[in-house]
Structure 1
């Protein structure tokens, strides 16, 4: 069970770290204007007053970064934070879909793919990882006794991260076929 918890926490830490970095002008991930684009997408979602969109965007980016850091700690705080953040973000997507808004997903920076039901499925899978890690952390100490198991867990988390980052492209590819 310890290796599954490690994989879930590493996957989530990577997702939130990349998500936060992609919204900022960080040379490796983000781009100039990425934060403004994210704030603009929040305005279009009509979930917050337009004049507060930048402040809410800053809170979201800070929460993503904080969750990524907390997920690196051997406690339930990170998975709980990730579950809470994923729940709030999923609720925003659900409200957007219920209204019929076709706002581009800015989850990982510049994407033109509009939010859709597939994004709720993605977040649901990530939420399942957060719940799994939370349950494992609350059950007691995590034991990682074998380096090969750690390697497989980290490789699984890395593969999961790549799939999440390519999610819009993969859903677009399979939607066409």
Structure 2
């Protein structure tokens, strides 16, 4: 029932008979075969159990959630136009080994800051209209309850984020 292109992805760490994690292809004649109109189609499937086995076998994800594995920084796109700069910020942080996550565009800053606190993040990178216009980001250092008053903020270029957050972890 496949026509033309087909594909399969495998994990070499699993036994050869069980190494296919998923696959798919073109199904252009399938609708016609089932009594419908000729319809171009494509599809794919992923084997959940095999994917989990591959993750465990390769050690691609940890099974425990220690303090060193928490999200350290949440990058918060405050306006839709902040998407590209936010993705760049997350990429810079992750490349420097800083565990980071991307907030959800369209949510208020207050809601995103609450989420960051729940994740245990120690900093939030805020990116709104001013930041885009002036080509910088605002870093807000979050405090746990009982650690003092208003959080500190600093501004920096995206490429300076990892350095700023590294210094902040040792001095704040």
TM-score bin (small chain): under 0.3
- Per the normalisation by structure 1, the TM-score is 0.26
Larger radius of gyration: 2
- Per the normalisation by structure 2, the TM-score is 0.26
